[in-house]
Structures are given as C-alpha cells and as structure tokens.
C-alpha cells in the first residue's frame, strides 16, 4: 500500500539556520527514505525561505533538494507544492524543471476516499487589515514586475532581513494557544459546518497538532523542519504525525482530542 506524505515550513536557505547545507541534506535524506512507499508528496508551503524567479535567472542554491524532488517526480511520485508566505513567488521554473504541481490557493481534494482541505494556512481565519493588504500587495502582478527590476543584491538581502524578524528569528518554539485563539482551528470549525471535510492539513504555525474538531473532522498542523523535523503520513485509513531523525512522535489514543505540541 502506497502512502501520502505531507510536510511544510522547511525554510531552505533561512539565515537563522546554523548549517544550511546540512539542513538541506537532512531534508533530502528524508525524501530518499520515503521514495519506495510514497505515491504523493505534499509540500505545504514555506519550503524555501525566499524565492523569486526572474525571466532568465533563478536563485542560487537548493540544488540537492530540487534534484531530489525531480528524481521522485521522474519515478512517478506526484509532487504537489503549495506556495506559502515565504515562497510565494514561484512561477514557471520549479514546475517545468521538477514536475511539481504548484498550488497558490487552498484546495479541497479527495485522497484515497477521504476529503482533505489543504492549504499552507497563512491568512486563514485572520481578518486583520494588515495581512490582507500585504497578501494583495505580494500577489499583485504589477508589484511583482516592479520588484523584478530591482537588483537581486538588494532584494535578497531585504527578504532575508525580513525573515529574520519573523518567528524564525526567535529562540522559542511556537506553542499551541488554545482552540479559541488558533486562527486555523477556528477557520476549520467554520468550514466544517459548510463542507464535509475529513482532514484539514496546514503548515504555517510551526507546531505539531492533531485535533478532533467534530465527530468526523480533524485538524492536522504539520510542524516544521527548523526545530521539529516533522511530517504527516496518510495510508488510506489513518493519518498521523511523525518526526525524522528525532525522538519518534507517538500520538496517544484518544477518541475525542489528540494534541501534540513540541516544547
């Protein structure tokens, strides 16, 4: 039986990562370890800490990772890549060179008979005006055109500086804030009232979470590859969270609620 894998928030190239090369190699080792039993791999956003494609030029680095997902795609494994708030500017190069299918918006998709709501998660359930403005600004074609005219020596430095000011620059691991404060949990509960969803799968929050929100629906937040090295596996019957080259995460059996948060 082939399995489906989900991972997010790898942040390849982030300046806050002590050894970027070993970080990339670790991700490649993981991908290599699942290639014989994976049918689909979902990369759920913020895979690369900063990416912007120019017409004739692509960013330096990530050759091991891009080569590995190209290899897996050539083997017949489906690669689905959701853009996050860090790798939002993926255009033509990655899908044409690696075979990955790119999603820029959340989707609802049936996988092995179960209905999934899939998204990176940024902005969902967050009605702040500031986020909405930035989201429209970054996705605006005219703004992207203007940005592409600035020399990369300035744009790359600016992007990495911005990233360092975000949660990646902090020393504390993100923690679960409670169902009433987590935007993605609140969003999922509202969506579950309108749509029959088995699993909501998100990245973005950098926590490991497996939470029942109704008799049928569960919210899975995938963690990250900065501190947790975590991912989810779906075998057609069950979905669960694991960690790679770390202490294995063993979710406790619970009929109603199952939460894992790494401290």
pLDDT digits (tens, 9 = 90+) for 64-107: 999 999 999 999 999 999 998 877 778 788 999 999 999 999 99
Structure tokens belonging to residue 181: 């404060």
In angstroms, the CA 238 to CA 248 distance is 17
- Is 231 part of any domain? yes
Find the radius of gyration of the CA atoms of the chain: 18
Tokens of 9: 């928030």
pTM of the entire structure?
A: 0.82
Evaluate whether residue 200 is within a structural domain: yes
Mean pLDDT (the chain) is: 83
What does the DSSP assignment read for 19-64? -HHHHHHHHHHHHHHHTTTEEEEEE-S-SBS--B--SS---S--HH
- The verdict on residue 254 lying in a domain is no
Instruction: Flag whether 35 is in a domain.
Output: yes
Assigned domain for 262 exists? no
263 belongs to a structural domain:
no
Closest C-alpha to 155, from 60, 49, 50, 85: 50
Distance CA 5, CA 141 (A): 32
Q: What is the pLDDT of residues 141-175, one digit of tens each?
A: 666 566 665 666 666 665 555 555 555 544 456 88
* Residues whose CB falls within 8 Å of the CB of residue 81, separated by 6 or more in sequence, listed in order: 43, 47, 90, 94, 95, 100, 101, 102, 103
CATH of the domain at 49: 3.60.21.10
Two structure tokens written together for 104: 């820029």
Q: Which tens digit of pLDDT belongs to each residue from 231-249?
A: 999 999 999 999 998 644 4
DSSP class per residue in 178-240: -TTT-HHHHHHHHHHHHS--SEEEE-SS--EEEEE-SSS-EEEEE--TTTT-EEEEE-SS-EE
Domain count, the chain: 1
Residue 239, strand partner residues: 234
3-state secondary structure of 82: strand
Residue 258 lies in a domain: no
Tell me the percentage of the chain whose pLDDT exceeds 70: 75
pLDDT at 135 over 90: no
Number of helical (H) and strand (E) elements in the chain, helices listed first: 7, 11
Domain that holds residue 215: 3-243
Question: Is residue 198 one of the residues assigned to a domain?
Answer: yes
């Amino acid at each position: 039986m082939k399995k489906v894998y989900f991972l997010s928030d790898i942040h390849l190239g982030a300046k806050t990562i002590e050894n970027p090369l070993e970080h990339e190699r670790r991700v490649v080792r993981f991908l290599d370890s699942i290639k014989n039993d994976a049918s689909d791999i979902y990369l759920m956003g913020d895979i690369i800490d900063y990416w912007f494609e120019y017409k004739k030029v692509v960013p330096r680095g990530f050759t091991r990772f891009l080569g590995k997902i190209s290899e897996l795609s050539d083997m017949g494994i489906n690669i689905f890549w959701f853009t996050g708030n860090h790798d939002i500017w993926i255009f033509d190069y990655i899908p044409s060179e690696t075979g990955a299918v790119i999603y820029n918006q959340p989707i609802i998709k049936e996988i092995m008979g179960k209905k999934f709501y899939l998204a990176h998660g940024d902005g969902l359930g967050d009605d702040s005006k500031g986020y909405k403005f930035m989201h429209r600004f970054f996705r605006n074609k005219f703004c992207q055109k203007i940005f592409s005219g600035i020399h990369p020596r300035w744009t790359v430095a600016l992007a990495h500086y911005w990233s360092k000011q975000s949660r990646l620059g902090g020393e504390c691991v993100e923690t679960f804030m409670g169902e009433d404060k987590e935007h993605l949990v609140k969003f999922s509960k509202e969506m579950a009232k309108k749509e029959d969803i088995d699993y909501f799968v998100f990245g973005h929050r950098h926590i490991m979470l497996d939470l029942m929100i109704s008799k049928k629906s569960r919210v899975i937040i995938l963690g990250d590859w900065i501190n947790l090295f975590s991912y989810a596996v779906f075998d057609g019957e069950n979905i669960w969270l694991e960690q790679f080259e770390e202490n294995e995460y063993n979710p406790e059996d619970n009929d109603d609620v199952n939460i894992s948060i790494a401290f």
